[in-house]
Amino acid sequence: MYESVFNFGGVNTFINPFNKQSGELLLSVNVDSEPAGAKRKRPGYVTYLNSIGGTIDSLWDWQRNNGTQFWTYAVSGGSIFYSQQGTGDWTICGNGTMTDNARVGNVDVQGTFMMIGDGTAATRHTTDGTSFTNTSAAPIASQFESYQNRIYALGTLALHYSTAGTPGNWTTDSTSIDLPGGGAPRGLMKVSDRIVATKTTEEMYRWDGYNLFDIATKLGPSSRYSVKKIEDYALYLNEKGVFGFNGDRPELLSNPIERQIYNDSGNGIAGGTFASAPAGEYKYNYYLSVGTVTDELTDETINDAIIKYDYQLNEFSNYRFANFPTAWHTYKDAGGVERLIFGDIVGQSYTFGGTATSDNGAAIEAQMIGFLHWNQPHIDKLFKRIWVFANPGCEGHVLVAPSNTFTRQKKKWLPVGQFVDGIAELEFPSDSEGKLLFWKFNESSTTTRFTLYGFVVEFDTIERP
């Protein structure tokens, strides 16, 4: 008998493992669905500008309305640095000293005015991109949005807005809006042409410029820094999972990886991470820095894990970088090319993607694990051969483990070999028996990205008296 697997999906350890599709994975680290149904090693990254020392807490950019000038910004140690055109050396901004270890929010008004704040220091603005001025009467805030010709700022007690048509004016017809219920204001976003304010209770309120509506949910963001939008669709982290939000009601997306987020063993996302996890978005993908997690079904640990959500395929997997991201940002460079940058704890920023095949020189370690049971998990099987198909020159290794258990320590992994011509074939040892067949694909290199297309297994069922 033969079984073919040529349609790999994402990670799914939520549903009954014996009701899984053959291509759904138990573990997926550093691989993408490219082309759809196959798996390809993710791109690498290279350094972006020089190190500025200390943890990078925030990254953003500002584009002038003349279409020719822009700056990228980084925050470390309470100082704001700018880079002219995203290529000039990092330079500390005038009046750019903020609160140490604080993250800085920002808002742009038509490419002529940018406001910033960290929730503790004075709120400031710039019109030249390189120096900031304290904004008179503006509330202390770290979350901002531009809406209906005003700037909205989420203060420590209420939602505030500036004078219409004059973003630096917070006195003429500026006012504040109290948010009902307990808890303090936490986050601010603009979705479906509405302002949405959230609280530490994870309640959510929608403002249309005239009326405040209670969305009647406690499924708002636990981390304000995890909120990113793809085509005006917000994604964010909550203690119950990764949610999507179109302005109406939050929807839970992350059931397939629920065991990574919380589980009975208590080795999902660490408690403090829920309030601070940063996220990025790039080419229809959402990236969330969550740290070390262990899926209790597989008992597999991913150190410095990044949860990746593929918006187009509605599919979850994981990344692991050699440098764990502490802040993310997507911008367009001087040539109009979209770039994803991220920062780390030593003050270095990196550009992800493009032609990079290593993590700034470090090998990218890719891994996938799945299993097969042929809808007959009660029947013993004799495994005979396996053919695995990848790109010629692939440096990956396939291992197989016939087994009668999910217990990780009891699996005996048998290696297949190299993909010299794009096809690897293994003759199973004569005693390769088991009710289940686990398979693993590993690759660690700094060379060309591999593509794994699928595999075929030959086996016989064993009739027992």
Residue type at position 457: V
Question: HEC states along 447-458?
Answer: CCCCEEEEEEEE
Q: What is the Cα–Cα distance from 166 to 135, expressed in whole angstroms?
A: 12
Average pLDDT of span 296-309: 93
Query: What CATH number was assigned to the domain covering residues 2-42+366-461?
Result: 2.60.120
Q: What confidence tier does 303 reach under pLDDT thresholds 50, 70, 90? A: very high
In DSSP terms, 198 is beta-bridged to 187, 204
So what's the pLDDT on residue 218? 96
For the beta sheet containing 175-178, the strands, ordered from the edge strand earlier in sequence to the opposite edge, are: 143-147, 150-154, 158-161, 175-178
* 114 pLDDT more than 80: yes
**Residue from 315, 301, 404, 297 nearest 16 by CA:** 297
In DSSP terms, 441 is beta-bridged to 368, 398
Query: What CATH number was assigned to the domain covering residues 45-361?
Result: 2.130.10.10
CB 39 within 8 A of CB 8: yes
* 199 pLDDT more than 80: yes
Alpha carbon of residue 399 to chain centroid: 29
Give 121's contacts (C-beta < 8 A, 6+ positions apart).
Answer: 97, 98, 99, 102, 140
**Residue from 371, 329, 378, 369 nearest 350 by CA:** 329
So what's the pLDDT on residue 4? 93
Give the pLDDT confidence of 308-329 residue by residue, as tens digits: 999 999 999 999 999 999 999 9
| DSSP secondary structure of 201-261 | T--EEEE-SS-EEE---S-S-S-GGG-EEETTEEEEEETTEEEEE-SS-EEE--GGGHHHH
For the chain, give every domain's residue range: 2-42+366-461, 45-361
Average pLDDT of span 340-368: 97
Average pLDDT of span 245-273: 95
Q: What is the Cα–Cα distance from 364 to 358, expressed in whole angstroms?
A: 6
**Residue from 320, 324, 360, 358 nearest 445 by CA:** 358
Average pLDDT of span 456-463: 91
Radius of gyration (C-alpha) of the chain in whole angstroms? 25
So what's the pLDDT on residue 85? 96
Give the pLDDT confidence of 330-340 residue by residue, as tens digits: 999 999 999 99
**Residue from 339, 315, 319 nearest 328 by CA:** 339
Q: What is the Cα–Cα distance from 219 to 240, expressed in whole angstroms?
A: 8
Q: Which two tokens stand for residue 368?
A: 């996938």
Give 67's contacts (C-beta < 8 A, 6+ positions apart).
Answer: none
DSSP 408: G
So what's the pLDDT on residue 409? 83
Percent of the chain scoring above 90 in pLDDT: 85
CB 199 within 8 A of CB 238: no
Three-class SS state of 356: coil
Least reliable range by pLDDT among 65-74, 340-349, 423-432: 423-432
So what's the pLDDT on residue 465? 65
Q: What is the Cα–Cα distance from 147 to 343, expressed in whole angstroms?
A: 29
So what's the pLDDT on residue 456? 95
Three-class SS state of 19: helix
In DSSP terms, 235 is beta-bridged to 228, 244
Q: Which two tokens stand for residue 129?
A: 């991109």
2-42+366-461 matches 45-361 in fold: no
Q: What is the Cα–Cα distance from 38 to 35, expressed in whole angstroms?
A: 5
So what's the pLDDT on residue 345? 98
* 448 pLDDT more than 90: no
Question: HEC states along 381-404?
Answer: EEEEEEEEEECCCECCEEEEEEEC
**Mean pLDDT estimate for the chain:** 95
| DSSP secondary structure of 289-303 | EEEEEEETTTTEEEE
* 252 pLDDT more than 70: yes
Q: What confidence tier does 402 reach under pLDDT thresholds 50, 70, 90? A: very high
CB 307 within 8 A of CB 290: yes
Residue type at position 58: S
Q: What confidence tier does 153 reach under pLDDT thresholds 50, 70, 90? A: very high
